[in-house]
Structure 1
Amino acid sequence: MKHTAIENVQFRVGKWLPSDQIFLEKWLEGLVEEVSDNVKPLHPVIEAFKELIEEDAELFMLFNQMFEQVPAKYTMSPAGKPQVRDYHHMLQMINAVMTKAPEFDSSGLVGLPINAILDWSMGTTGGFTAFLNDKVNVQLKRILNEWGVFLKSQESCEVLSDQGWFSEAALKALCAMDPYQKADSIDPKQNFIDNFKCDPQKPYWGFTSWDDFFTREFNEGRRPVASPNDDRVISNACESAPYRVATDVKRHAKFWIKAQPYSLQHMLANDCLAEKFVGGTVYQAFLSAKSYHRWHAPVNGTVVKAYVQDGTYYSETLAEAYDPEGNKESQGYITEVATRALIFIEADNPDIGLMCVMPVGMAEVSSCEITVYEGQKVKKGDQLGSFHFGGSTHCLFFGPHVKLEFDLHGQTPGLTSTNIPINARIATVQV
Structure 2
Amino acid sequence: MSDIRFYNRYTGQTQVEEVYGESFLRWTYETAMGRVGLWLLAKRAVFSHWYGWRMNKPSSKRKILPFVATYGLKEEEFLDPVETYSNFNDFFYRKLKPEARPVAEGASSVALPADARHLAIADLENCDGLYVKGQRFDLPTFLGDAALAERFADGVAVISRLCPVDYHRYHSPVSGKLMRQRLINGDLYSVSPIALRRSASYLWQNKRVLTELETESLGTVAFVAIGATCVGSIIMTAKEGQSVSKGDELGYFAFGGSCVVSLFEKGRLQLSEDLKRYGAKQLEVYARVGDELGRVS
For the superposition of Structure 1 and Structure 2, which TM-score range results when normalised by the shorter chain? 0.7 to 0.9
Tell me which residue corresponds to 2:292.
425
Question: Is residue 2:260 matched to residue 1:394?
Answer: yes
Tell me which residue corresponds to 1:305.
180
Aligned length: 282
CA displacement at 1:222 relative to structure 2: 0.9
Question: Against the structure 1 CA distance between its residues 421 and 151, is the aligned structure 2 distance closer, same or farther, given a 3 Å change threshold?
Answer: same
Aligned AA for 2:227? Answer: G
Aligned AA for 1:247? Answer: D
CA displacement at 1:254 relative to structure 2: 10
Question: Is residue 2:96 matched to residue 1:218?
Answer: yes
Tell me which residue corresponds to 1:236.
112
Equivalent positions of 1:268-307 (< 5 A) are 268-270=143-145, 272-307=147-182
Normalized per residue, which structure has more strand?
Answer: 2
User: For the residues of structure 2 that align with 1:220 and 1:303, how far apart are their CA atoms?
Assistant: 22
Kindly provide the CA deviation profile for residues 36-92 of structure 1, in whole angstroms up to 9, marking residues without a partner as x: xxxxxxxxxxxxxxxxxxxxxxxxxxxxxxxxxxxxxxxxxxxxxxxxxxxxxxxxx
Query: Of 16, 21, 37, which aligns to 1:17?
Result: 21
Kindly provide the CA deviation profile for residues 148-197 of structure 1, in whole angstroms up to 9, marking residues without a partner as x: 23312312212224xx2244xx2xx234xxxxxxxxxxxxxxxx232112
User: For the residues of structure 2 that align with 1:400 and 1:293, how far apart are their CA atoms?
Assistant: 29
- Mark the structure with the bigger radius of gyration: 1
Question: Against the structure 1 CA distance between its residues 406 and 418, is the aligned structure 2 distance closer, same or farther, given a 3 Å change threshold?
Answer: closer
Equivalent positions of 1:13-92 (< 5 A) are 15-18=19-22, 24=23
Tell me which residue corresponds to 2:77.
195
Tell me which residue corresponds to 2:207.
339
Question: Against the structure 1 CA distance between its residues 145 and 13, is the aligned structure 2 distance closer, same or farther, given a 3 Å change threshold?
Answer: same
Question: Against the structure 1 CA distance between its residues 325 and 282, is the aligned structure 2 distance closer, same or farther, given a 3 Å change threshold?
Answer: closer
Query: Of 46, 50, 58, which aligns to 1:142?
Result: 46
Q: 1:195·1:219 contact (CA, 8 Å) conserved in 2?
A: yes
Tell me which residue corresponds to 2:274.
408
User: For the residues of structure 2 that align with 1:273 and 1:410, how far apart are their CA atoms?
Assistant: 24
Q: 2:130·2:282 contact (CA, 8 Å) conserved in 1?
A: no
SS at match of 1:404: strand
Question: Against the structure 1 CA distance between its residues 336 and 255, is the aligned structure 2 distance closer, same or farther, given a 3 Å change threshold?
Answer: farther
Q: 2:131·2:196 contact (CA, 8 Å) conserved in 1?
A: no
Aligned AA for 1:165? Answer: F
Question: Against the structure 1 CA distance between its residues 314 and 225, is the aligned structure 2 distance closer, same or farther, given a 3 Å change threshold?
Answer: closer
TM-score (norm 1): 0.57
Tell me which residue corresponds to 2:246.
380
CA displacement at 1:294 relative to structure 2: 1.0
User: For the residues of structure 1 that align with 2:176 and 2:262, how far apart are their CA atoms?
Assistant: 15
Equivalent positions of 1:236-255 (< 5 A) are 236-249=112-125
Q: 1:262·1:332 contact (CA, 8 Å) conserved in 2?
A: yes
Q: 1:313·1:362 contact (CA, 8 Å) conserved in 2?
A: yes
Q: 1:407·1:425 contact (CA, 8 Å) conserved in 2?
A: no
Kindly provide the CA deviation profile for residues 369-391 of structure 1, in whole angstroms up to 9, marking residues without a partner as x: 11111110000111101111133
Structure 1 runs, 4 residues or longer, greater than 6 Å off: 9-12, 253-257
CA displacement at 1:367 relative to structure 2: 2.5
Aligned AA for 2:163? Answer: S
User: For the residues of structure 1 that align with 2:257 and 2:219, how far apart are their CA atoms?
Assistant: 28
User: For the residues of structure 1 that align with 2:79 and 2:63, how far apart are their CA atoms?
Assistant: 19
Identical residues among aligned pairs (%): 21
Query: Of 95, 99, 118, which aligns to 2:28?
Result: 118
CA displacement at 1:326 relative to structure 2: 4.1
Question: Against the structure 1 CA distance between its residues 394 and 280, is the aligned structure 2 distance closer, same or farther, given a 3 Å change threshold?
Answer: same
Tell me which residue corresponds to 2:67.
165
SS at match of 1:389: coil
Question: Against the structure 1 CA distance between its residues 276 and 248, is the aligned structure 2 distance closer, same or farther, given a 3 Å change threshold?
Answer: same
Structure 2 regions of 5+ residues with no counterpart?
6-15
CA displacement at 1:331 relative to structure 2: 7.1
Structure 1 regions of 5+ residues with no counterpart?
1-8, 19-23, 25-112, 176-191, 317-323
Q: 2:58·2:87 contact (CA, 8 Å) conserved in 1?
A: yes
Aligned AA for 2:235? Answer: E
Aligned AA for 2:87? Answer: S
